[in-house]
Amino acid sequence: MTVRETAERHAKDVADGNFGRLMLDVAGDALNEVMTLGGPPQPTTKWEILSEDANGNAVRFQMRYSNESAAIELETRWELIDGVWKVVKVAQVAA
């Protein structure tokens, strides 16, 4: 699976509430970073990839998660770890 396909599947899992698979996508402190931010709006009904930027061994995606009343833009950094793409950093994009 490419990093783009993995990021798209991850975003769909956010919208579907598939927390078990979401946890498998996260490595290091990324889970704590999401928890500190409060995560995407609940329920998340729409997601989109706003940008993708490859830099060395990592790829950054700027994502927008939303529902009818709220939205958040996050930058996620993905790295290939043991042959699997994982989120290693999450930050909210300044409004």
CATH code for the domain defined by 3-92: 3.10.450.50
Model-wide pTM > 0.85 = yes
**CA proximity to 30, closest of 91, 80, 83, 84:** 91
| pLDDT value of position 94 | 80
Task: Please report the pLDDT score of residue 14 as a whole number.
Answer: 96
pLDDT in tens, the chain (95 residues): 999 999 999 999 999 999 999 999 999 999 999 889 988 999 999 999 999 999 999 999 999 999 999 999 999 999 999 999 999 999 999 86
Order of strands across the sheet with 46-55? 46-55, 58-66, 71-81, 84-92
The confidence score (pLDDT) of residue 95 equals: 64
